[in-house]
């Protein structure tokens, strides 16, 4: 297994140029802002080095970079406009990459929840049970289901924001 430093070096060597080119278009050719976004993207990749393979990291990196640009626009109160990624910017991948990336990020965030929080989310959102049904299946009072759901969703939101996934 590669160390965090090795992964970062591989990510930097492979993706810094293409990411910078992509982000420059998103920020109206503001080189300093683009460089800041690329550095933050690579910093977040370093934090997740154990989950990323440098040759397969493009969808994750481009999503984080795009979300950082959008978050920057929101902080400044401007409206963000999405610039589509052109085929020359990315290696050929399936049309479902965005969906797969989101599913992967959500599944990873779910795995990091406590067992109690994860089971409540699964019962309510994946198995589509009511609070009363989930309470019965889990053997806890409905109030406990509601409380666990509240804290689980907050933890999921925080975990996804940490990965650069923000609300639209």
**31 by DSSP, 3-state: which?**
helix
pLDDT of residue 82: 52
With tokens 């460089």, the residue in question is 35
Distance, in Å, from the CA atom of 138 to the CA atom of 22, rounded to the nearest integer, reads: 47
Mean pLDDT of the region 51-75: 81
Mean pLDDT of the region 113-119: 91
**Is residue 86 predicted with pLDDT exceeding 90?**
no
**Is residue 143 predicted with pLDDT exceeding 90?**
yes
Which of 89, 110, 128 is the endpoint of a domain? 89
- Band (77; pLDDT cuts 50, 70, 90): low
Task: Look at the chain and report how many structural domains it folds into.
Answer: 2
pLDDT of residue 80: 44
Which of 33, 62, 89 is the endpoint of a domain? 89
Q: Is residue 168 in a domain?
A: no
Q: Are 67 and 28 contained in the same domain?
A: yes
Distance, in Å, from the CA atom of 66 to the CA atom of 83, rounded to the nearest integer, reads: 9
Q: Enter the pTM of the model.
A: 0.45
Pull the structure tokens for residue 76.
């400044």
CA dihedral 108, 87, 28, 23 (to 10 degrees): 30
Distance, in Å, from the CA atom of 111 to the CA atom of 121, rounded to the nearest integer, reads: 11
Distance, in Å, from the CA atom of 101 to the CA atom of 99, rounded to the nearest integer, reads: 5
Q: Is residue 167 in a domain?
A: no
Query: What pLDDT digit, counting tens, does each position of 14-38 carry?
Result: 888 888 888 888 888 888 888 888 8
Domain encompassing residue 149: 97-162
Which of 54, 72, 89 is the endpoint of a domain? 89
Contacts of 95 (CB under 8 A, 6+ apart): none
How far is CA 133 from each of CA 124, 126, 140, 144, rounded to the nearest angstrom?
9, 13, 10, 13
Q: Is residue 138 in a domain?
A: yes
């Amino acid at each position: 297994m590669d160390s965090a430093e090795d992964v970062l070096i591989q990510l930097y060597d492979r993706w810094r140029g293409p990411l910078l080119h992509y982000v420059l278009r998103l920020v109206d050719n503001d080189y300093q802002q683009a460089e800041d976004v690329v550095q933050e993207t690579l910093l977040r990749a370093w934090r997740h080095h154990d989950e990323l393979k440098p040759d397969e990291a493009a969808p994750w990196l481009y999503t984080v970079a795009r979300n950082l640009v959008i978050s920057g626009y929101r902080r400044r109160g401007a409206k963000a406009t999405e610039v589509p990624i052109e085929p020359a910017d990315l290696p050929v991948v399936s049309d479902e990459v965005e969906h797969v990336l989101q599913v992967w990020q959500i599944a990873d965030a779910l795995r990091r929840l406590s067992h109690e929080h994860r089971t409540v989310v699964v019962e309510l959102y994946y198995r589509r049970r009511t609070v009363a049904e989930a309470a019965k299946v889990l053997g806890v009072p409905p109030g406990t289901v509601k409380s666990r759901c509240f804290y689980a969703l907050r933890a999921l939101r925080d975990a996804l924001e940490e990965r650069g996934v923000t609300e639209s």
